[in-house]
A and B are shown apart, each in its own frame.
Chain A
Amino acid sequence: MSNTKNWPLWEVFIRSKNGLNHKHVGSLHASDSEMALENARDVYTRRQEGISIWVVESKNISASDPKINDEMFDPAADKVYRHPTFYNLPDELKHM
């Protein structure tokens, strides 16, 4: 390993057009947030992929642990009453 400190890693999120969410598109290295935004512009929007960019230093993202996916996500599986199709209504009722 070299003794130079690496530029930190940033995650890049791009809104492709107004009305849509920012979406994670990839990552890059930059020395500060300003450079990260510019690098994101140069790397990830060369083909007009976006009109707005967010960058977040990767170390600031907290991620759920896939090892506890069972307890995190499975309990939602049997709550069928949260979905509209759970309820039986007469066919005459066209829109609800």
Chain B
Amino acid sequence: MNSKKNYILHLADNGLILAQRLGEWCGHGPVLEQDIALTNIALDVLGQARYFYQYAAEVDGQGKEEDFYAYFRDEREFKNFLLIEQPNGDWAHTIMRQFFYDNFMQLVYTSLLSSSDKQIAAIASKAIKEVNYHLKFSSEWVIRMGDGTDESHKRIQDAANNLWEYTGEFFVPTTYETEMASKGIAPNIASLKNDWHTRGNEIFSEATLQVPQATWFQSGGKTGTHTEYLGIMLTDLQYLQRAYPGNSW
């Protein structure tokens, strides 16, 4: 039971923390049209997070609601990828983070469509449409920047190099993922690695970018050992609920 809850929370936390990061762009985008576009993505992933938190509450059976899981868990209990909590940086870093994530989540949601858990499959069938669009959006921007100006090429290549080390944990299963895979609830994530690389290579090649060659990867996000950024994000995110506990908002 715990594995299932953990797996669902892992999916939910990714959505919430990414929405939190993307929300920082709102009002600060490079041009109004893209400001609006990025907020649409933020709203999509926040929506996904809410579905998963609501389902986690059901699986948990403690009579809690979605906000409990977002606002009253500590840093060590959050299970999002390290990649997601990395700062926005410039437009290149934000887009590259998004591209790495979209490319992976598109594969994850595609397999979750046939999850043996009906509720997860139902959420995936809604999320897959959103992620397909996100992947198109982020891929196009990777290409635009890679094949744009010298400056944009350098910036997007730097972003790829800087964020690369956080992509390895996608494919290393935690115990809860292994258990979920054995029950047909979740995909065997190690098996998604080839597709992720193949598609990533295609886009990088079209963008005239070098695929980073580093082979050492950070890990720990999925089991609650994060970079220092997450704690600060949660302080911000959870402040009101924690400062005035027991209230409705």
State whether the Cβ of A43 lies closer than 8 Å to any Cβ in chain B.
yes
A22 at the interface (CB under 8 A from B): no
The count of A-to-B residue pairs whose CB atoms sit within 8 angstroms is 24
Question: Is residue A38 contacting chain B, with contact meaning CB distance below 8 A?
Answer: yes
Contact with A along B124-164 (1 / 0, CB 8 A): 00000000000011001000100000000000000000000
Q: In the complex, which residues of chain B have a beta carbon less than 8 angstroms from the beta carbon of A46?
A: 40
The 9 listed contacts between A and B (C-beta, < 8 Å) are A7-B31, A28-B33, A35-B140, A38-B37, A39-B36, A42-B37, A43-B33, A43-B36, A46-B40
Contact of A42 among B31, B33, B144 (CB under 8 A): B33
- Contact A29-B31, Cβ < 8 Å, known A38-B37, A39-B37, A46-B40: yes
Q: Are the CB atoms of B31 and A38 closer together than 8 Å?
A: no
**Most chain-A Cβ atoms within 10 A of its Cβ — which of B33, B36, B136?**
B33
Chain B interface, DSSP helix/strand/loop, else mixed? helix
Chain A 14-36 against B: per-residue CB contact (8 Å), 1 yes, 0 no? 00000000000000111100110
How many Å from the CB of A30 to the closest CB on chain B? 7
A38 CA to B144 CA, complexed, in Å: 14
Asked if residues A42 and B140 are in contact (CB atoms below 8 Å), the reply is no
Interface string of B34-49 (1 = CB under 8 A from A): 1011001000000000
A30 to B141, CA, bound (A): 13
| C-alpha spacing A28/B35, complex, angstroms | 13
A sample of 18 more A-B contacts (CB under 8 A), given A28-B33, A38-B140, A39-B36, is A7-B31, A29-B31, A29-B33, A30-B33, A34-B140, A35-B33, A35-B140, A38-B136, A38-B137, A39-B33, A39-B37, A42-B33, A42-B36, A42-B37, A42-B40, A43-B33, A43-B36, A46-B40
User: A38-53 vs B: 1/0 string, CB under 8 Å?
Assistant: 1100110010000000
Max chain B Cβ within 10 angstroms of own Cβ: one of A29, A35, A46: A35
Complex alpha-carbon distance, A34 and B140, angstroms: 9
Residues of A near B140 (CB, < 8 A) are: 34-35, 38
Q: Inside 8 A of B34's CB, which chain A residues have their CB? A: 39
Minimal Cβ-Cβ distance residue in B for A29: B33
Which chain A residues border B37 with CB–CB below 8 Å?
Answer: 38-39, 42
Closest to B34 in A: A39
Q: How far is the CA of A46 from the CA of B136 in the complex (A)?
A: 18
Residues of A within 8 A of B137 (CB): 38
CA distance A35 to B34 in the complex (A): 10
Going nearest first, the 9 A-B pairs with the smallest beta carbon separation are A39-B33, A42-B37, A42-B36, A42-B40, A43-B36, A28-B33, A29-B33, A43-B33, A30-B33
**Best-surrounded residue of A28, A39, A42 (most CB of chain B within 10 A):** A42
Closest A-chain residue to B37, C-beta based?
A42
